[in-house]
Structure 1
Amino acid sequence: DKYGDSIGGALIVGKLAWPHEWVIMIGAFLSTMGAGLQSLTGAPRLFQAIAKDNIVPFLRVFSVTTKHGEPFRALLLTAFITELGILVGNLDYIAPIITMFFLMCYGFVNMACALQTLLQTPNWRPRFKYYHWTLSLIGLTLCIVLMFISSWYFALTAIALAFCIYKYIEYKGAEQEWGDGIRGLAMSAARYSLLRLQAGPPHTKNWRPQLLVLMKLDEQLQPKYPRMVLFASQLKAGKGLVLVNSVLAGQFRDRYPDAQASKQSLMNLIKAYGVKGFSDVSIANDVSEGLCQLIQNAGLGGLKHNTVVLGWPYGWRHDADERSYKVFLETVKNVGAAQMALLVPKGINQFPDAGAKAKGTIDVWWIVHDGGLLMLLPFLLRQDRTWKNCTLRIFTVAQTEDNSIQMKKDLQTYLYQLRIEADVDVVEMSNQDISAYTYERTLMMEQRTDMLSKIRDQQTENRSSGRSAKITLSTVPEESSTDHDNTEIPEGPADKSQFTFTPQDAKKLIGKMKKPDKENVRRMHTAVRLNEHIVEKSHGAQLVILNLPAPPRSAAGAENYMEFLEVLTEGLERVLMVRGSGREVITIYS
């Protein structure tokens, strides 16, 4: 008897009321009238306030008020929604909808209180001294249970609608920031994860390159080689850590604005390439020392880099300032001392741009075992769509007395156990006599070293005597590169202190000077012969990956080391030189 037909349509509760049934009738009327007036005055103003704060962007049209401050548009929308409920004409259909949203409102308030307490937010200071977060949790649980008891399909619909509104606000971004409990929860989870990561070094099975990209800036404080960031993104395939850092030379107090502008440039570059990473710029009196500090201290806790990406010092041959390559060498040594892996891309401007798809081969010249990093890098690169269509070829070098057939079988077995598909080839290097070309290249190298030393001495004398000189280093044909042009360093009007060095001069000096150093000749011979094989086999490869030799321990061989690297990579468009960290990064079980 839902509608009271047995008692003539009267209220059953009214019949039971004392002293008269009109007590219930009047009370229900006054309660309904009060709730209606409250909704009439409160709902439109609340709606207008939400629209004015631009929390939900598409409701901005309802933020307008009249000259008396009345939310007229919000009032019209409220009246329209109310009229729809009246037209339904059945309270049993309307009540579940209203119940869901009221229960959701109370549930979210309880959830916010519980989160604020659990996260120990400083601005959460409840006045009720007997409050405990379990009370809020119980209230949230009861609200959810009552929602599903009332109507499970209406409950699911209301939850889905609330989730869509939240994601819309998160996507569009509210102009007013009122705080976010989820953000506090994320910070707490991040702190917990960092403490877990700090427990110890990762196992070989969990090793992956966490990259620190050392970016060089130009005079306008813009990234000089932006494709280094793109290459790091391709290597990571969107996973792991990417830090893009740089160092400015000078005093912190003087260059702090420049550092902030540079940091913004790096952030814009990261966003432009869609890289998930962080950027920062440091200031140091000495660039080498600043880079060393970054290698030591970049990252946070267990979330630190284990691989450094360092740009090649293009144009170092034509720069009389020895700092152009000494910063590079010092950084290479510091990375090795920190037991981190090092990646040096050469010809970075020729690397594939964003959206391009390379087709061909990735050739790995495996000369020194470095813990498997040379095997792992091409596999990671091929996970990115840019390098996905490339096939992998692995070359190893053998002497004439080595068993090349057995070496090839062993390497194929090793790759099979690593579950890496690649073509294997063994290149034999014969112990042939050192050619005249090798002597000439060695002599050119030593002559250039002597010439630059004289230039620096002359510059020192000129500064002390007040004179100036114009220094011109002519381009050597074997040293041409697509990444730099000839460099001239004007320092005032030219005088007799002018030095010019060309390969033709070297040929004239062969008979006049003493023979080149035997150790330099031996190293140059190895570099020339190996370069001949690499160019012969990999001249058409999309990328050549090879070992980066160990840097010299003394400063005397710095320029010779750079020359060896130039000879080793001569004639190759894209090269990635790799130096491992000294630990295994891939095993047959990982």
Structure 2
Amino acid sequence: MSSAMLVLSFIVAFCTTSCLSAIASSGGVVSEGGPYHMLSRSLGPYAGASVGITYYLGFALLGVLESVGAVDALVMAAPSLADIPGYHQIFGGSLVLILNVVVWGGIHVVTKLGVFFVVVVGLTILMFYVGIFVSPQSDAIEIAGVTGLSASTLSDNLGPSYDDGVRFGTVLSIVFPCFTGILSGANRADVLRDPPKSIRNGTFGAITISLFMYLSFMLLWGAVATSDYLKHGPYGTEAAAAHLRRLAGVNNDEARTIVGQIVWPHRIPAYVGIFISSVSQALQCFTVAPRLMQSISADNLLPILKPLSVVNRKREPARAVLVTTILSIALSMIGNLDLIAPLLTMCFLVCYAFMNVSCLMLTLLKTPTWRPAGIFRRRFRLWYILSSFVGVVAALAVMIIVSVYWTIGVLVLAALLYLYLDWVGAEAEWGSGFAGLRYNFALTALQGLQEKVHKRINWRPQVLVLYQVGNGADHSGGDGDTNSMLSKTGCHDLLRFYGQMRKGRGMCIASAIVVDGDDKRVAAERSRVAEVMAQESLQGFADVVVAPSFGEGASYAVQLAGIGGLRPNSVLLAWPSNWQGRSDEACEFVRLLQFATNTGKAIMCVKNMSFMPVGERSIPMNGTIDVWWMIHDGGFLLLCAHFLKQHKVWRGCQVRVLLVMEHADDEATETAKSNLRKLLTGHRLLDNVVIEVVVLHDDAMIEPYTYDWTMKVNNRGDDLAATEIGFKRQNTLPTSLDDLFNGVLPAKEQQNPSSLPHHPSLQQRRVPNTKPFDEDLEWNVESDLLSNVHNKIEERRSYMDRLAQVNAFSSNSQSGNSLKVPSGGASQRRPSTVVHPNSARPYMRMNSIIAERSKDSALVMMNMPDIWSTETEKDCASYMAYCDCLTKSLDRVLLLHSTGMEVFTRF
């Protein structure tokens, strides 16, 4: 079993040495500055520092272990010292202090003593070998248990023979420290002439020689004396206590005779040799540990350790030596090898395991800076992968075998150190294997995201927030100049408003458009937007775009923001508050909306941003969130309302959905309300929602929403069918009002659900056609633009009718049928039968209906109509005037427009 312990320890040391050699031969920063430098530059600063501190603790414990072992050798030579109470603590602490004083003198002192130590260790080992081979064979000694070299004795000792309370792991924890010196070459890498070659040849040679030496010792000791003698001394088990302490010579004079009877020529030189060997190893540990601590402190990852990074005039880490001395003296008060060895073993095994992990990660990730010898040859790559993987598994196996509790304790300690470093948030200027791992995971995930389907199925808002900085817009987030497109909006308030929708668990990309800005303004804005995103806990990215105008910069951002499946699917921006008289900027804004829609982006426009409860104005709102659903974009409206309702600002509001329908009777309105409530309940959205139906007699009130809706519905159905995504209609949120009747109305009516049967008895929310229009409203300024809306709609309707006839002719020609053009043209909705002397009045009338119900609402959400034309500045201004007309007298408005292609499924 002792041979199995040695082989298992050797496997861990061999695999770790292979990784150490690879890291040392890679070149660059990872092969400089010792094991900690290698770990931190390959695993990253946080993981490297946490493992480095554990490694430092291991070195301190190893120095204490060797010091306590030296005290045992001293007591072997002078047994009377054992009569002093607490002699382990007294002599061990004193020896630790003396050795650290030597270390204080500088590394040159330790180096000069190195040759002497090597000679003494070699002579001591030789004394044991010779003593075993010339061990006495007399009958008297044989009775005591020493048989001399004998095959039968070896055969009798091959099997395990543990005393009570001792197991394989207990002994392994004491055997494993024999292979803890493999990092000595790395610790001296800065003074080696050829570090890669010296570390590789020296370390492999050292562990190979150690393996054969320890194996030979185990076999020879097993062949020279009986098991009972080796465990308990010449007087057997009755005079024995714990066998490990007796073998080390603690509180048992008889046990010390094992060395005295076997060693040649005399026991006193052997005792001196054991003492000096232990002292030399302890001195090496106390030399390395302070320098390791100084390296960790110099990286400035832990503020509390920063004072230890100072070195004296001789370039010696005097402060780190002092801290190591105090810590080592405190640890020496344990005074028990059985307690020190397991913790020491764990600390080194954690370091070995993570060194193997770093080599494995760097090889698998093919990091460009990872260039060890032979890495570009397949057999070497396989060797690095295999050896590092076996090293990790073997290290973890030894840890668990030694003690499950100690394993958990040390790993928890390393994890706590990592979390503390992460919490402190110190920045480092080097990358890591973990960063490379995250990069590869992210790249694989991005490549795996199918952008087209990801945008449509299980839709979530991935929002591009656009706002202007410059030309009078306050880049600090305050109010802008009254001449700015975003005046009095507080440009960063857009980000804060989006923060209230973050329950959508989507991504946010904030793009600040700096108009003719300099480098200082760009840097300041980039820092400011990152700060706001951190304050609002927004997940996403931020950047600044420099452009000569807001529209041009915003178009850049819409085209280039995001990557792969993580491109934004929505755009959030502020509605210009002072566009009247600035037709060029109004045209720029409308064309931006058109461009975003054409690129597959949904639109979210915040109107009257200065009234929104964000930033310093953020207080819990009461009242209602009114969702005005006019023909289309219903699912988008409902989902955005749900996201807002999850935030504490809007949580106290009740959602009220107002369905705007044309020429519907009581049966149709009740059907719409019932089906919508069932869908919301099935999707677990908007609890206790109030649903109202507003029935219109005059189609002209919402003609911008209806003139081309039939063709849009057909196109949407064809596009969704082409995706082959396999969703069920009843499992999706409705997009249009027509979706509320699918599967409910007869087949004939499903073809044209908006043309519902009339009923003489209408709902209370029905708007009578005879109610006079309030002539006192001041609409004269916008009447011309609103009249232009009607004219453009009529032109567009005529164009759509001609297009529908062409499509119908083409379809019937291909099928061999005669052409039958519907009498109503492409639009199956009821045309307006009322002649209006002023075509702007229907739109004003629609505003009065909206304001009557929602003037005092906490928030009004409303879908925007499609943009009918951007050919001239007047066409763009007409669109702006129409949206302003609908939302006049409303304090807080969120205007939305979906692409019509989003699918909101449930499971």
Cα pair 2:575 2:607 within 8 Å, conserved:
yes
Change (3 A) 1:203 1:122: closer
Q: Which runs of 5+ in 1 are unaligned?
A: 451-517
Q: Which residue of 2 aligns with 1:9?
A: 255
Q: Which residue of 1 aligns with 2:562?
A: 299
Distance 1:238 1:168 in 2: 30
* Cα distance per residue 1:303-331 (max 9 Å; x no partner): 011111121111112xx332221121111
Distance 2:514 2:398 in 1: 61
Distance 1:410 1:552 in 2: 28
Cα pair 1:371 1:582 within 8 Å, conserved:
no
Correspondent of 2:436 among 184, 201, 206 = 184
Q: Which residue of 2 aligns with 1:246?
A: 512
Secondary structure, aligned partner of 2:657? strand
Q: Which residue of 1 aligns with 2:469?
A: 217
TM-score scaled by length of structure 1 = 0.80
1:79 aligns with 2:325: yes
Correspondent of 1:521 among 830, 834, 838 = 838
Correspondent of 1:429 among 751, 762, 767 = 767
Q: Which residue of 1 aligns with 2:644?
A: 381
Cα pair 1:107 1:143 within 8 Å, conserved:
yes
Cα pair 1:398 1:429 within 8 Å, conserved:
no
Q: Which residue of 2 aligns with 1:544?
A: 860
Cα pair 2:515 2:548 within 8 Å, conserved:
yes
Q: CA RMSD in A?
A: 2.9
Cα pair 1:442 1:520 within 8 Å, conserved:
no
Correspondent of 2:280 among 18, 27, 34 = 34
Change (3 A) 1:265 1:174: closer
1:535 aligns with 2:851: yes
Distance 2:667 2:344 in 1: 80
Correspondent of 1:566 among 856, 863, 884 = 884
Cα pair 2:782 2:881 within 8 Å, conserved:
no
Mapping 1:186-585, distance limit 5 Å: 186-198=438-450, 200-202=452-454, 204-218=456-470, 219=472, 221-223=475-477, 224-237=490-503, 239-249=505-515, 255=518, 258-285=521-548, 287-317=550-580, 320-354=581-615, 356-370=619-633, 372-399=635-662, 401-419=663-681, 420=685, 421=687, 422-427=689-694, 428-432=766-770, 435=773, 437=775, 441=779, 445-446=783-784, 521-522=838-839, 524-553=840-869, 554-555=871-872, 556-585=874-903
Distance 1:132 1:404 in 2: 76
Q: Which moved more, 1:544-553 or 1:19-28?
A: 19-28
Change (3 A) 1:567 1:371: closer
Which residue identity lines up with residue 236 of structure 1 in the other structure? R
Change (3 A) 1:326 1:43: same
Q: CA deviation at 1:145?
A: 0.9
Secondary structure, aligned partner of 2:868? coil
Cα pair 1:65 1:71 within 8 Å, conserved:
yes
Q: Which runs of 5+ in 2 are unaligned?
A: 1-227, 237-253, 478-489, 695-765, 789-834
Which residue identity lines up with residue 552 of structure 1 in the other structure? W
Q: Which moved more, 1:15-24 or 1:544-553?
A: 15-24
* Cα distance per residue 1:155-177 (max 9 Å; x no partner): 11100000111121122133543
Change (3 A) 1:213 1:151: same
* Cα distance per residue 1:452-479 (max 9 Å; x no partner): xxxxxxxxxxxxxxxxxxxxxxxxxxxx
Aligned-residue identity in percent:
31
Distance 2:468 2:397 in 1: 59
Change (3 A) 1:29 1:394: same
Cα pair 1:362 1:542 within 8 Å, conserved:
yes
Distance 2:554 2:671 in 1: 43
Cα pair 1:434 1:525 within 8 Å, conserved:
no
Change (3 A) 1:33 1:406: same
Secondary structure, aligned partner of 2:500? helix
Q: Which moved more, 1:213-222 or 1:24-33?
A: 24-33
Q: Which moved more, 1:76-85 or 1:334-343?
A: 76-85
Mapping 1:42-81, distance limit 5 Å: 42-81=288-327
Cα pair 2:621 2:652 within 8 Å, conserved:
yes
Distance 1:158 1:193 in 2: 33
Cα pair 1:307 1:342 within 8 Å, conserved:
yes
Distance 1:273 1:520 in 2: 51
1:118 aligns with 2:370: no
TM-score scaled by length of structure 2 = 0.53
* Cα distance per residue 1:166-216 (max 9 Å; x no partner): 121122133543432211111111101100113642275521111011112
Distance 1:144 1:270 in 2: 41
Change (3 A) 1:446 1:176: closer
Q: CA deviation at 1:349?
A: 1.6
Secondary structure, aligned partner of 1:88? coil
Distance 1:203 1:327 in 2: 27
Cα pair 1:308 1:340 within 8 Å, conserved:
yes
Change (3 A) 1:146 1:249: same
Distance 2:837 2:572 in 1: 28
Which residue identity lines up with residue 407 of structure 2 in the other structure? A
Change (3 A) 1:125 1:584: closer
Cα pair 1:212 1:245 within 8 Å, conserved:
yes
Change (3 A) 1:541 1:373: same
Change (3 A) 1:407 1:43: same
Secondary structure, aligned partner of 2:528? helix
Q: CA deviation at 1:440?
A: 6.5
* Cα distance per residue 1:82-103 (max 9 Å; x no partner): 2233322210001111111011
Cα pair 2:454 2:565 within 8 Å, conserved:
no
| Count of residues in Structure 1 that have an aligned counterpart in Structure 2 | 515
1:89 aligns with 2:347: no
Distance 1:221 1:403 in 2: 53
Q: Which residue of 2 aligns with 1:167?
A: 419
Distance 2:542 2:397 in 1: 46
Q: Which residue of 1 aligns with 2:390?
A: 138
Change (3 A) 1:9 1:395: same
* Cα distance per residue 1:35-63 (max 9 Å; x no partner): 11101222112212222322222112323
Distance 2:767 2:603 in 1: 27
Secondary structure, aligned partner of 1:109? helix
Change (3 A) 1:28 1:291: same
Change (3 A) 1:80 1:256: closer
Q: Which residue of 2 aligns with 1:504?
A: none
* Cα distance per residue 1:352-410 (max 9 Å; x no partner): 124532222111011122251111111111122222222111111234x4214531332
Change (3 A) 1:447 1:335: closer
Distance 2:475 2:331 in 1: 62
Q: Which residue of 2 aligns with 1:149?
A: 401
Q: CA deviation at 1:433?
A: 6.9
Secondary structure, aligned partner of 2:564? coil
Secondary structure, aligned partner of 2:783? helix
Change (3 A) 1:412 1:15: farther
Which residue identity lines up with residue 293 of structure 1 in the other structure? Y
